[in-house]
A and B are shown apart, each in its own frame.
Chain A
Amino acid sequence: AQTVTQSQPEMSVQEAETVTLSCTYDTSESDYYLFWYKQPPSRQMILVIRQEAYKQQNATENRFSVNFQKAAKSFSLKISDSQLGDAAMYFCAYSDYGGSQGNLIFGKGTKLSVKP
């Protein structure tokens, strides 16, 4: 069975600085998706960034980028120029490619605090 592990329950960053959130996963599949979701206090889960496993290039979305290491099964999220609005729970998630793609497997989450 696939698993997703986030080893940092909490992280803190100074406003305008850079922070990296870690995620490792385990799967026997070769094709899959990886995601980072953000959950602010409003509870709305928001997709931050998505990576297809077959793509070697790391995904980037404005201030958010990932370091995808397929062989190491590692998928970290880097937030540059951190803003107060980035404070939230961040969940790393995995989905098989094909089949029930909406069936996401989530990590336990990392609570990010941003200090002014």
Chain B
Amino acid sequence: SAVISQKPSRDICQRGTSLTIQCQVDSQVTMMFWYRQQPGQSLTLIATANQGSEATYESGFVIDKFPISRPNLTFSTLTVSNMSPEDSSIYLCSVEVLRTGAEAFFGQGTRLTVV
């Protein structure tokens, strides 16, 4: 298994500002993922973060809006840039632990409110 620490757990931000969310894993993992969960909705993959290469973004998400860093095998950050109220969501990171057969482990999520 994997234990994931995600912070902050919640924040209220002014529109036009940026917020960086951190995700720390207790073991080395190859792939980390960032999801967005809009109010009352399911999870949507934003991007896949691999160590040593640029993140791969899903359709509808761009690097300028959601820059991602992956400096090592245990850590990643997601920045939500130039925020607007539409960015109010829960953001979750997850990791893949191959030894457990495709199970994904999730952080506690960051509840972001943009005012």
Q: B-contacting residues of A (Cβ < 8 Å)?
A: 33, 35, 42-47, 50, 52, 91, 95, 97, 100-104, 106-109
Contacts and interface: CB of A to CB of B under 8 A. Distances in A.
Nearest to A47: B103
A50 B111 contact: no
Interface residues of B, number: 22
Contacts of B45: 103-104
A97 B43 CA distance: 20
A71 B104 CA distance: 26
A47 B43 CA distance: 14
B42 A108 contact: yes
A52 B108 contact: no
B42 A103 contact: no
A50 B48 contact: no
A102 B95 contact: yes
A100 B31 contact: yes
A33 B2 CA distance: 19
A39 B102 CA distance: 19
Nearest to B31: A102
Given A50-B103, A100-B48, A101-B102, A43 B108 contact: yes
Contact of A52 (B41, B94, B101, B106): B101
Contact of B109 (A44, A95, A103, A108): A44
A35 B45 CA distance: 16
Contacts of A107: 42
